[in-house]
């Protein structure tokens, strides 16, 4: 089975692989149900979705009547104002067919102007805090992509005491000295406050250079041995979580790798992988 770790200060013992439900954005209900069976087989007990993930919330809705109490359920809003964030959050509850979720996250909060709006008077953060006060959600997080997100997360954590953050992390990003320093700074704050750190883009090979054959935003690693290395490199860092790939056909290999976690590979092993698969940073 996949190892577990307390999800920050939430009290939930989450599998270190969090199901990234972006993978359900463009699949049939039958495909989604087969994916659920796979997740249950591996004991995954933490699902992360978003209002903007296509049909993902609708696909997850039918699962909730039976499995809601078994999973930590998180979603996200990409809206920046109080009114729109509140409306979108309630729509997420309807689509997921639940009365509450465990966590709501400010989604992709990286643009300084959007950050100022979301965090200011009449901003989205006020709607999330209100939802928490009303018992509709227990925890609040913030997420983002791109190189600048580590610095923006530091601003966000200084503005509000978030329960979780989400940002990209993989071996190639660790070789970007500026980003690595920012990631380390975020990690330090989160350790001090017992804030959960979720990571994405673990299986990135490079940006798409030809026809897209997967649902991921990036061209992923495909071979099991390669995925083993990428997953082990993340899980070898004992206090972070790995949010799974955005493609249901790559997902089984990631779960298989996590269930056989064998310790963190060396830099030499990772450098060999980078060279063999012609890996390139997705962000720079």
pLDDT, mean of residues 141-165: 97
Q: pLDDT of 103-125, one tens digit each?
A: 999 999 999 999 999 999 999 99
**pLDDT at residue number 282:** 85
pLDDT at 158: 98
> Has residue 38 got a pLDDT over 90?
yes
| C-alpha span between 193 and 105 (Å, rounded) | 18
Q: Is the predicted pLDDT of residue 53 greater than 80, yes or no?
A: yes
Q: What CATH number does residue 187 fall under?
A: 3.20.20.100
- Mean pLDDT, rounded, for 119-134: 98
Residue 135 counted as domain residue? yes
Distance separating alpha carbons of residues 283 and 281, to the nearest angstrom: 5
Within a domain: 87: yes
**Spatial distance between the Cα atoms of 9 and 98, rounded to a whole number of angstroms:** 23
Residue 210 lies in a domain: no
Q: At what angle do helices 251-259 and 224-235 cross, to 10 degrees?
A: 60
Structural domain boundaries, residue 175: 4-201+238-244
Q: Where does the pLDDT of residue 195 fall: very low under 50, low under 70, confident under 90, or very high at 90 and above?
A: very high
pLDDT of residue 216: 95
Backbone angles phi, psi at 271, to 5 degrees: -65, -40
Instruction: State how far the Cα of 50 lies from the Cα of 141, in Å rounded to an integer.
Output: 12
- Residue 269 in any domain: the answer is no
275 in a domain, yes or no? Answer: no
* CB-count exposure of residue 38 (10 Å: 0-12, 13-18, 19+): middle
Q: If you average pLDDT over residues 170-193, what whole number do you get? A: 97
pLDDT tens digits for range 67-78: 999 999 999 999
Which of 169, 164, 118, 111 is CA-nearest to residue 141? 164
Total number of domains constituting the chain: 1
Residue 219 tokens read as 């061209």
Please give the Cα distance from 115 to 132 (Å, whole number).
Answer: 20
pLDDT at 8: 98
Closest CA to 162 of 135, 184, 138, 134: 138
Q: Name the helix (H) or strand (E) containing 277.
A: none
Instruction: With a cut of 80, say whether residue 284 has pLDDT above it.
Output: no
State the Cα–Cα distance between residues 220 and 131, nearest whole angstrom.
Answer: 36
DSSP 14: E
124 touches 137 (CB < 8 A): no
Asked if residue 150 belongs to a domain, the reply is: yes
Cβ neighbours, 10 Å, residue 143:
26
Write out the DSSP string of 207-252.
S--S---SSSSSEEP-SHHHHHHHHHHHHTSTT-EEEPPS-TTTHH
Phi, then psi, of 7 in degrees rounded to 5: -80, 85
Q: pLDDT grade, residue 283 (50/70/90)?
A: confident
Confidence bin at 221 (pLDDT 50/70/90):
very high
Nearest to 203 by CA among 176, 233, 237, 182: 233
Residue 160 pLDDT > 90:
yes
Q: How far apart are CA 213 and CA 125, in angstroms?
A: 37
- Domain presence at residue 262: no
Band (pLDDT 50/70/90 cuts) for residue 1 is confident
Q: Does residue 267 fall inside a structural domain?
A: no
């Amino acid at each position: 089975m996949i190892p577990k770790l307390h999800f920050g200060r939430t009290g939930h013992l989450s599998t270190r692989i969090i199901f990234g439900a972006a993978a359900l954005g463009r699949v049939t209900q039958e495909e989604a149900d087969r994916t659920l069976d796979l997740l249950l087989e591996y004991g995954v007990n933490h699902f992360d979705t978003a209002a903007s993930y296509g049909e993902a919330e609708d696909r997850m809705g039918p699962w909730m009547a039976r499995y809601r109490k078994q999973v930590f359920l998180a979603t996200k809003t990409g809206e920046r104002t109080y009114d729109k964030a509140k409306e979108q959050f309630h729509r997420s509850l309807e689509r997921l067919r639940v009365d509450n979720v465990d966590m709501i996250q400010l989604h992709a909060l990286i643009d300084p102007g959007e950050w100022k709006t979301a965090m200011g008077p009449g901003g989205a953060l006020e709607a999330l805090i209100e939802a928490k006060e009303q018992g509709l959600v227990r925890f609040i997080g913030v997420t983002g992509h791109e190189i600048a997100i580590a610095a923006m997360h530091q601003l966000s954590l200084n503005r509000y005491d978030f329960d979780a953050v989400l940002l990209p992390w993989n071996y190639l990003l660790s070789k970007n000295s500026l980003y690595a320093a920012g990631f380390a700074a975020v990690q330090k704050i989160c350790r001090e406050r017992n804030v959960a750190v979720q990571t994405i883009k673990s299986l990135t090979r490079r940006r798409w250079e030809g026809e897209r054959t997967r649902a991921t935003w990036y061209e992923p690693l495909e071979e099991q041995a390669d995925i083993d290395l990428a997953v082990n490199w993340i899980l070898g860092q004992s206090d972070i979580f790995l949010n799974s790939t955005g493609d249901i056909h790559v997902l089984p290999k990631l779960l298989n790798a996590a269930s056989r976690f064998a310790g963190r590979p060396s830099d030499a092993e990772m450098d060999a992988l980078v060279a063999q698969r012609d890996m390139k940073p997705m962000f720079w």
